[in-house]
């Protein structure tokens, strides 16, 4: 497949059956194909094993959606989520599918702005707009969505989203004390009950243990990928690695982990032969901050177009999703649910206070990645990340780490200015 | 001979450097076709040993004729250190953006800030306000300096500020006082950016707006005793000069 003839394949009949706005969605499909072809297939010296992930994008609106619909037909739950705090293990234990529905596209923002205020996070607007405009097959296919109470923009939007698709909300506490864990565990039980209600069965401890292993394996594969990116020259581009982290949110987990591991085998070989996607002299940048949902490749594209390489994402679509595993040693349901909750409580999202673990985690990942500069990325109007940025900046200053903070939305209008800032940052790193 | 060219949003600036000294320079409007405009400006000088482009149009220049590119940030840092070898802080206000740059002792960029994606606090903002008040750009600064008092402008958004200026005019506020208020509004904005960077000692002021006497005087006043404000000769050429110096430096490193 070359950059010019890459297409995202159309499935108009299936889309019509899903009550989508087919003509409009078909335009979005074509655009995605063009952008993807240009941004991804034009990269030099890509690993061969990226072919699977290219295919996942080519079939993003087709084959994977068919799999969702097939699962539904069998009475399996298909659940949409917006946050890495919702435990997908429980859906997988019920034989179901969990998909991340975060929005990373400017295209659906105008749909949202017909209803929602303009000055809220673009990710929330984009996600809501996908449903309001009926331009996301995943949103159309899910049985229900499970939101959470992390940030204000999200929790208040769920009330409105519920009018368009059944929306349940998990209360995520804002602190991490013992009493918060008690609450959280109750919320996890409610989630399990909701999932069981859809599939009319109850999840057994055995099934949960299996699901925990499956998702742990997926997270381990992503950990392995991250560790390999520390090599110099970088064996894979940041854009490709981010893409894989994004696909982790909708692909079938066993197949996905297998493909990531196959890719990692190839990267191992590349590293052994000193093969990279950029020269060893290219500046290495780590990105930290908010999630970058498909197809938000803005920051990575800017950095890599300027000749540098991104070597890690401290983000929910990134390490925050896979750095922690669930203890697999428990066999009784109660103990499993507790172990699961413990794992989820380790996620260091800025919605929590205090959240100083995140500062330590950023520094730890920075050192492990062999990066030479840290780029903090916040979405516009995301108060928690924008404010926590101050602590990350202070820590970088203290450690003498070159640092750049970007606050942006999905619109292309600031790209020129951001390009200048990113290039100046790379000049700073190059010295 | 080395050439630096700064393709800005409003004007193109060119500097010719030989043996570490600026030998010639030129400035012209960017126009609709900045690449051809730049080529026309370069024509009289023949082929330099190396040509480095900077500014908004740097990548366009690389596609057509430049040997290398650097950002405006680095270009201003190099240009300013040429004039003031000890200077650690720069404020650059051009047609469409404003930036503040901190340097380490060796002159390398250690930190920088740019204005947001709108015209607030830039040359364009001053230009529109001058127009609204009926001043030419050259009279504007003089009027602000001569004003017997000032008025406070509340909006920094170009569109809102324009209507604010009109309503002040209609309330009978003298134009020179409003002019002073406009300048102070920009200066407040720059001071806030400088505050974030933590700047002391000397501060160099570059970019086309540094040719406005009111901006220089009022910014100096605002900074107070602790900081000495320096304006290089031809402050609008600092970026082009920096690019030319980079051309010389990178040619040597080859
Ligand atoms: S940033 Fe926080 S709220 Fe957003 S997905 Fe991550 S954990 Fe959830
Ligand atoms: S990026 Fe920030 S504002 Fe946006 S959904 Fe996540 S936590 Fe909320």
Residue spans of the domains in chain A: they are 12-430
CA distance B162 to A38: 42
pLDDT at B157: 81
Q: Is the pLDDT of residue B117 over 70?
A: no
pLDDT at B122: 86
Is the separation of the CB atoms in B58 and B8 below 8 Å?
A: no
Q: Which residue of A has its CA nearest to B98?
A: A417
Q: Nearest to residue B226, comparing CAs of B252, B194, B249? A: B194
Q: How far is CA A172 from CA A8, A84, A120, A183, in A?
A: 36, 11, 20, 8
At what angle are helices A333-345 and A205-228 packed, to 10 degrees?
30
Mutate to test the interface with A, among B117, B118, B196, B243 (most CBs of A within 10 A): B117
- The CATH architecture of the domain made up of B1-84+234-254 is 2-Layer Sandwich (3.30)
pLDDT digits (tens, 9 = 90+) for B40-70: 999 999 999 999 999 999 999 999 999 999 9
Q: Following CA atoms B153, B157, B163, B166 in sequence, which dihedral angle do they give, to the nearest 10 degrees?
A: 40
Query: Pick from A413, A423, A428: which is nearest to B117 by CB?
Result: A413
Q: How far is CA A162 from CA A86, A136, A345, B62, in A?
A: 17, 16, 26, 52
pLDDT at A213: 98
pLDDT at A66: 97
Subunit contact B112:A424, Cβ cutoff 8 A: yes
Is the separation of the CB atoms in B243 and B9 below 8 Å?
A: no
pLDDT at A2: 73
What is the DSSP secondary structure assignment for residue A50, as one 8-state letter?
G
Tally of CB atoms within 10 A around A186: 12
The full set of domain ranges for chain B reads: 1-84+234-254, 86-231
What is the DSSP secondary structure assignment for residue B231, as one 8-state letter?
-
Confidence class for position B178, pLDDT limits 50, 70, 90: very high
Which residues of chain A have a pLDDT value below 70? Answer: 1
What percentage of chain A's residues is helix, strand, coil (to nearest 5)? 55, 10, 35
Structure tokens of A394?
């202070």
Say if ligand 2 is within 6 A of residue A151 CB: yes
Q: Is the pLDDT of residue B149 over 90?
A: no
CA distance A335 to A327: 10
Print burial letters for A205-242: b (CB count within 10 Å at least 16), e (below 16): bebbbebbbbbbbbbebbbbbbebbbbbbbbbbbbbbb
CATH, domain B86-231, list 1.20.1630.10, 3.20.10.10, 3.30.420.40, 3.30.465.10 = 3.30.420.40
Share of chain B above pLDDT 90, in %: 77
Using alpha carbons only, what angle is made at residue A302 by residues A128 and A280, rounded to the nearest 5 degrees? Answer: 135
pLDDT at A264: 98
Q: Is the pLDDT of residue B120 over 90?
A: no
Q: What is the largest CA-CA distance in chain B?
A: 64
Average pLDDT over residues B118-122: 75
Subunit contact A414:B71, Cβ cutoff 8 A: no
ipTM at complex level: 0.89
pLDDT at B199: 82
pLDDT at A132: 96
Mutate to test the pocket of ligand 1, among A102, A291, A361 (most ligand atoms within 8 A of CB): A291
Mutate to test the pocket of ligand 1, among A316, A344, A382, A384 (most ligand atoms within 8 A of CB): A316
Kindly state the helix (H) or strand (E) to which residue A94 belongs, with its residue range: none
Q: Is the pLDDT of residue B224 over 90?
A: no
Going by alpha carbons, the residue nearest to atom 2 of ligand 2 is: A382
Query: Pick from B56, B71, B117: which is nearest to A427 by CB?
Result: B71
Subunit contact A420:B114, Cβ cutoff 8 A: yes
CA distance A245 to A241: 6
Q: Which ligand is nearest to the CA of A86?
A: 1
Compute chain A's Rg from CA coordinates.
21
Residue listed under structure tokens 């050429």: B237
Tally of CB atoms within 10 A around B88: 20
Which residues in chain B are contacts of A427 at CB distance < 8 A? 70-71, 73-74, 109
Q: Which residue of B has its CA nearest to A407?
A: B116
Print burial letters for A307-344: b (CB count within 10 Å at least 16), e (below 16): ebbbbbbbbbbbbbbbbbbbeeebeebeebbbbbbebb
Q: Which atom of ligand 1 is nearest to the CA of A350?
A: 2
Asked whether the domain spanning B86-231 has the same topology as the one spanning B1-84+234-254, the reply is: yes
Q: Is the pLDDT of residue B180 over 80?
A: yes
Sheet holding A373-379, edge to edge: A309-314, A284-289, A373-379, A403-408
- The answer to pTM > 0.90 is yes
pLDDT at A90: 98
Kindly state the helix (H) or strand (E) to which residue A102 belongs, with its residue range: none
A431 near B CB under 8 A? yes
Confidence class for position B96, pLDDT limits 50, 70, 90: confident
* Residue A406 alpha carbon to ligand 2 centre in Å: 15
Parallel, antiparallel, or unpaired: how do β-strands B201-206 and B109-114 relate? unpaired
Q: Nearest to residue A320, comparing CAs of A84, A59, A93, A121? A: A84
Which residues in chain B are contacts of A378 at CB distance < 8 A? none
* Distance of residue B117 Cα from the nearest chain A Cα, in angstroms: 6
Share of chain B above pLDDT 70, in %: 98
CA distance B190 to B227: 14
Q: Is the pLDDT of residue B116 over 70?
A: no
Going by alpha carbons, the residue nearest to atom 7 of ligand 1 is: A349
Q: Is the pLDDT of residue B156 over 80?
A: no
Q: Which ligand is nearest to the CA of A149?
A: 1
Mutate to test the pocket of ligand 1, among A98, A151, A321 (most ligand atoms within 8 A of CB): A151
């Amino acid at each position: 497949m070359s950059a010019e003839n890459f297409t995202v394949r159309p499935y108009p009949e299936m889309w019509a059956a899903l009550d989508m706005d087919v003509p409009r969605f078909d335009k979005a499909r074509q655009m995605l194909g063009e952008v993807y072809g240009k941004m991804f297939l034009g990269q030099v010296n890509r690993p061969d094993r990226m072919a699977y992930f290219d295919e996942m994008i080519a079939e993003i609106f087709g084959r994977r959606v068919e799999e969702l619909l097939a699962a539904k037909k069998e009475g399996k739950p298909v659940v949409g989520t917006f946050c890495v705090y919702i435990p997908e293990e429980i859906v997988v234990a019920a034989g179901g599918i969990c998909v991340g529905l975060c929005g990373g596209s400017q295209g659906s923002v105008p749909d949202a702005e017909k209803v929602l205020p303009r000055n809220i996070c673009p990710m929330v607007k984009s996600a809501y707009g996908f449903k309001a405009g009926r331009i996301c097959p995943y949103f159309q296919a899910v049985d229900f969505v499970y939101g959470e109470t992390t940030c204000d923009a999200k929790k208040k939007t769920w009330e409105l989203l519920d009018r368009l698709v059944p929306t349940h909300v998990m209360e995520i506490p804002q602190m991490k004390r013992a009493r918060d864990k008690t609450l959280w565990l109750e919320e996890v039980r409610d989630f399990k009950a909701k999932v069981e209600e859809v599939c009319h069965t109850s999840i057994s401890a055995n099934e949960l243990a299996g699901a925990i292993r499956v998702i742990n394996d997926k997270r381990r594969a992503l950990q392995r990928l991250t560790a390999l990116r520390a090599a110099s020259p970088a064996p894979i581009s940041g854009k490709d690695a981010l893409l894989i982290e994004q696909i982790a949110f909708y692909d079938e987990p066993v197949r996905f982990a297998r493909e990531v591991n196959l890719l990692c085998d190839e990267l191992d070989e590349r590293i052994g032969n000193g093969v990279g996607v950029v020269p060893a002299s290219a500046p290495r940048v780590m990105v930290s901050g908010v999630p970058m949902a498909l197809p938000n490749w803005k920051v990575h594209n800017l950095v890599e177009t300027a000749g540098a390489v991104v070597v890690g994402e401290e983000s929910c679509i990134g390490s925050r999703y896979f750095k922690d595993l669930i203890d697999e040693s428990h066999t009784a349901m109660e103990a499993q649910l507790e172990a699961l909750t413990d794992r989820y409580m380790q996620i260091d999202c800025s919605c929590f206070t205090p959240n100083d673990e995140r500062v330590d985690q950023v520094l730890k990942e920075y050192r492990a990645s062999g990066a030479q500069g840290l780029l903090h990325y916040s979405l516009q109007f995301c108060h928690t990340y924008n404010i926590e940025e101050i602590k990350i900046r202070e820590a970088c200053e203290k450690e003498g780490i070159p640092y750049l903070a970007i606050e942006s939305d999905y619109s292309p209008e600031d790209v020129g200015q951001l390009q200048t800032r990113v290039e100046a940052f790379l000049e700073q790193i190059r010295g | 001979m080395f050439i630096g060219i700064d393709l800005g949003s409003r004007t193109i600036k060119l500097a010719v450097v030989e043996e570490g000294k600026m030998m010639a320079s030129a400035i012209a409007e960017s126009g609709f076709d900045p690449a051809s405009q730049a080529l026309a400006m370069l024509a009289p000088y023949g082929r330099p040993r190396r040509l480095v482009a900077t500014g908004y149009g740097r990548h366009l220049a690389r596609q057509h004729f430049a040997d290398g590119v650097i950002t405006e940030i680095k270009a201003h840092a190099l240009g300013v250190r040429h004039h003031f070898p000890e200077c650690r802080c720069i404020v650059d206000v051009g047609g469409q953006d404003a930036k503040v740059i901190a340097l380490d002792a060796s002159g390398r960029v250690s930190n920088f800030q740019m204005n947001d994606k709108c015209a607030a606090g830039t040359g364009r903002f001053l230009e529109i306000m001058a127009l609204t008040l009926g001043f030419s750009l050259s009279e504007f600064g003089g009027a602000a300096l001569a004003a017997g008092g000032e008025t406070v402008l509340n909006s920094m958004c170009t569109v809102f500020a324009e209507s604010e200026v009109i309503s002040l005019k209609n309330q009978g506020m003298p134009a020179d006082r409003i002019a002073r208020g406009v300048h102070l509004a920009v200066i407040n904005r720059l001071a806030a950016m400088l505050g974030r960077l933590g700047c002391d000692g000397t501060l160099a002021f570059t970019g086309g707006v540094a040719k406005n006497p009111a901006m220089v005087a009022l910014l100096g006043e605002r900074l107070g005793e602790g900081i000495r404000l320096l304006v290089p000769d031809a402050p609008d050429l600092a970026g082009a000069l920096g690019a030319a110096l980079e051309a010389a430096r990178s040619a040597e490193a080859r």
